[in-house]
Structure 1
Amino acid sequence: MNGVKRPLTMKDIAKMAGVSTATVSRILNHNGRYSKETESRVKKLIEENNYVIDQTAKGLRKKYLETVGIIVPDITNPHFAKLVLNIQTSLFQRGYSSIIGNTNENLSLEEEHVHSLKAQHVCGFIMISTKRYHQSLRRFPTVYLDRPARGGEKEDITIESDNYKGGYLAGKQLGIASCKRLAIIRTNSNDCNQDSRKEGFLKALSEAGIPEEKVDVLDIGDALIQSAYSRIREEMRNGFLYDGLFCTTDTLATGVYTALREGNIKVPEEVKIVGFDDCDLAFTTGPGLTSVHQDVGKMAELAVDALVRRLTGEPLSSTHFYLPVYLSVRASTD
């Protein structure tokens, strides 16, 4: 014989720990009842012996592989990139792998990804969806994340930030900064998150004595930095009028800031800017971007937990979760 040891099995770990294979399985899947002392003993043996779950064999027994499909609209967007990274990490910790489908905000491409991933027998989906609801996923384990499901079933799981409150905080901040010539810069993708952010923003300005008709809405076709940059350059050619801008994503805010800098318009001395997401761009854009913070770590954790509960038949405390937001104040509104 060549002396190569065979990989340890779950049965081996169970024998070493003095428990049943069912107990080891429950510990690995965070499911069922077992004592803390047993969990500690089993996990120590797993670590010491470099035991790795055989996902293929596990999938064959269940008639599917333990793989989750993740649909994301733009993996280059730092907010979505960090969210997906957190989802993948959380899934891996729960014993699931993942396949990512990037849609570029394209409905047809999103549908193709869903069809392809179902053909690969994923066990469920976490959707950051452009379409918002897929009839083909009716009764299929699915979590709609960041963007709520629309037109589906009441048992559909949705996890989102409090977008209205985020918009309100942005408006409050620009009102405190005594801005009078205001605009909101958003994508015009019929996104209800964008609408909620706008409504909250206008409510705060109304309380500050600035009526809705005094606030311009600059719709941009997508959330790309270049698109916001081009739109603001166009506004500058026509005579830039604003002293306060609320951008409904940090990518839009980055494009706005870059255009203003090239036009020698100073932030925050001449124009104050608030973004939304509080992603890595907020730390690196200009003097530092004031931005509405979304808790992507908690969002990912909730999404994975909800999906696993749906897969295992465990009860959910709710099917619609709203996560609180707060404002990270930086130099762009000082």
Structure 2
Amino acid sequence: MEVKVFTSADAGRWDAFVADRPEATFFHLSDWRKVLENALGHATYYLYAEKAGEIVGILPLGHIRSRLFSNALISTPFCVYGGSVAGDPAVRDALEAAACDLARDLNVDHLELRNLQPSGAGRPVKDLYVTFRKTLDPDPETNLKAIPRKQRAMIRKGIQAGLESVIDESVDRFYEIYAESVRNLGTPVFPKSYFRSLKDTFGKMCEILMVEYQGEPVAAVMNFYFRDEVLPYYGGGSTAARQLKANDFMYWEVMRRAVEKGVKTFDYGRSKKGTGSYRFKTHWGFEPQPLHYEYELIRAKELPDINPLNPKYRLFIQAWQKLPLPVSKLIGPWLARSLG
């Protein structure tokens, strides 16, 4: 067995391996390498283990270098899941050992492996993030009834308000809504080119659902489709969305439309414990599942704490929320690309 570095010629073999491994995720696809490099400007190191000419394990890595935040090697940056995929623990160990060697060569602060399941390697794990995943019924009405009563009432209010959902091929309307939404949360927005890259790179696996009220956009979400799963990933609403219950209606429409496509799993994605998004997802009847983000400390002496719950970022968040939207869209992409 030999650990090698991915080249573009390996894309077909890499993705065939991902398709064949049930524990692999959308974020393990090789095209994320293009997005990280071309849209966000980060170096990538996609490692794979090969035996007798066949790929037997993979580990995608991105290098985030930031003077403001940290210098880290991550699997995978800007993605909720990552880590190694291998059927044999010995293969996994070889890939992760190679990643640790690479992290030391790059002199990063830490290596971060965003595992959906624990690896059992004994590395420090940060107890911060959870994910929410649920099996869908083929009958939309059954899925609606499975949503707790109070949340179901919010969805019905959106329906009664006359909200409609459409699929947008362009990122333009989505970006305006998303930029406003994340500014209101105190978070820098990604460049529009990042979302164009996701749409262009992943094609039909990347879909934008737009919620309209009387023909005007009020909420939008970019969804990823992989195998028989749907993952609403980047979403937000305008000022009018809250009163119209547009976000509630939007996620219901994602669920309803996904069932029509034969999707069996709704992945509500990652949330930090104790946040508004965490509470919102539990109101839908989803049970939180811990994410196992594992760390290998290289230069750092303690686990990183780069998240909005950290008190030292509180003043920054409050100031960002007050920025004029055009200013946040101008400055935000420079900061967002470094968050990882």
**The two structures share one fold, judged by TM-score above 0.5:** no
Give the TM-score, by structure 1 length: 0.27
- The structure with the largest helix share of the pair is 1
Pick the structure with greater CA Rg.
Answer: 1
- The structure with the largest strand share of the pair is 2
Give the TM-score, by structure 2 length: 0.27
